[in-house]
Amino acid sequence: MSNHVSNASTHSNTQDDACVANDDVSRQSLNTNVDSAVLPPQPDIDALLDIADEAAVTWVREQGGLAQVIDALATCGRVALDTEFIKRDTYYPRLALVQLNTGDHIYLLDAPQLQLAELWQALSEVDVAIWHACGEDLGIFYLLSGCPPLTNIFDTQIALSYLTGQLQMGYQQALDDQLDMHIDKEQSQSDWLQRPLSDEQEQYAIDDVRFLPALYLNLEYELKKQGLYDYVWADCQLYASDLYNTQHVEDDAMYLTMADYRYNSQQMAILKGVATWREELARATNQPRTFVIKKQAVREIITEKPNSMRELAHKTTMHRSMLRLYGEELLKVIKDAKSLPPAEHPDCLLPPYRSKNKVLSKAVQQAIDDQAQKIGVPANVLMRKKWLAQLYEVVAFNKGISELPQGLKGWRNHWIVHTLIPVIEKHKTELQQGMGVHA
């Protein structure tokens, strides 16, 4: 690559300069104090909760009833939604219920009885789709819909992280803290495929979306008042894109989710073979990956490299029933991986930064804290540990700016390129030594 991190602060690449210029404009708009004229009205929480309590509830159990939902989505502007599903003993989640709140109406969609292609498309076209902790829900959306990454997501859990610094606040706590509203979450692990649902299940499902619009409006006001709404919106779309990419990982790349930098190239080859085999078998038999073989057993295979059924049984914790069914097949996978020539081994992972000398870590943390205070974003939200590890790789191995993680290419990019990377560059020798890099 022609544009390396080592000269990132002075590079003159036209495209990168244009990106930085655009980012300057973006940051100016993001950092400008929001004028009170463009602030939404401060929400009246009591009035919003009254509206939530009065919302009509409609079950949709037949295909013909879906048209009313589609029409409502076309005009509502924003919708709050959630799903209930079961994925305890299957590879593919079984969608049981979709809950939608269009503001004055709550719809409970009996998913097993419906064809939902039109619904997925309609949801992708609303202005704002409000979720709380949408990771698993969006995974199902992408699996069933075939839609590209959504660009209208507002995740209230992400929004709350900006205001509280708590990265994984649950929905129950969010309502308690923001709306002084308590809901019961005891039905979360119940059988959502049973029909009819119990009264408690139905109330739980309704409550999961009943108060989401009020929570959104309260968060929207606070975020815009503090000039943080655009940051949150950008991070929500980034999360939606990341979830899409996670949902579409190829079988032969699944091994990277279990890889360890301490594995040598042959161990990486074995891991790739076993992980690919596990993924294909889990999908073909529609059972969870861990039912085929747990991660601990995979790690044991990587280190022990068993050659026989006896070794597979005594040196790993692979479940005996799966050993009887698939042991010989798995041994062939291991044997084939071990016989690969080194040139065909996957690349080893780059080592993480490790050092007893804390000069670099302290300098980086100070730069993060300074920026966090400047823009009013919690430090752990501004810079995630995973992003920092990836940034260290970019600098230590002289990779191009284009190889920064996506989270550092958006509104954080100007600060990353012009402030944080120069800080890291000052301590590059320590960084490379801490990562075992020979400059």
Rounded to the nearest angstrom, the gap between the alpha carbon of residue 409 and the centroid of all alpha carbons in its chain is 17
Residues lower than pLDDT 70 in the chain? 1-37, 439
Q: Helices 212-225 & 156-164, crossing angle to 10 degrees?
A: 40
The verdict on pTM exceeding 0.85 is yes
The contacts of residue 241 (CB under 8 Å, 6+ apart) are 149, 406
Identify the pLDDT of residue 18. 36
CATH of the domain spanning 45-226, picked from 3.65.10.10, 3.30.420.10, 3.40.50.150, 3.40.640.10: 3.30.420.10
Identify the pLDDT of residue 104. 93
The one-letter code for the residue type at 431 is L
Identify the pLDDT of residue 37. 42
Identify the pLDDT of residue 336. 98
The one-letter code for the residue type at 106 is I
Residue for token pair 């959104």:
216
- d(Cα 82, Cα 101) in Å, to the nearest integer? 9
Identify the pLDDT of residue 184. 84
Hey, what CATH topology would domain 5-14+351-434 get?
DNA polymerase; domain 1 (1.10.150)
- d(Cα 137, Cα 258) in Å, to the nearest integer? 23
Nearest one of 271, 219, 278, 256 to 78, comparing CA atoms = 219
User: Sign of dihedral through CA atoms 205, 210, 214, 216?
Assistant: positive
Q: What is the DSSP letter of 405?
A: -
Q: Which two tokens stand for residue 67?
A: 């048209």
Radius of gyration of the chain (CA): 25
Nearest one of 275, 260, 245, 293 to 407, comparing CA atoms = 245
Nearest one of 154, 109, 150 to 130, comparing CA atoms = 154
DSSP string, 127-172: SEEEESS-HHHHHHHHHHH-----S-EEEHHHHHHHHHS-TT--HH
Indicate if 260-344 has the same CATH topology as 5-14+351-434. yes
- d(Cα 293, Cα 119) in Å, to the nearest integer? 36
Identify the pLDDT of residue 186. 78
- d(Cα 416, Cα 434) in Å, to the nearest integer? 21
- d(Cα 76, Cα 151) in Å, to the nearest integer? 17
- pLDDT for 378-394, tens place per residue? 999 999 999 999 999 99
Rounded to the nearest angstrom, the gap between the alpha carbon of residue 283 and the centroid of all alpha carbons in its chain is 22
Residue for token pair 């302290």:
362
Identify the pLDDT of residue 9. 34
Per-domain boundaries in the chain: 5-14+351-434, 45-226, 260-344
Nearest one of 157, 119, 153 to 138, comparing CA atoms = 153
CATH superfamily of domain region 260-344: HRDC domain (1.10.150.80)
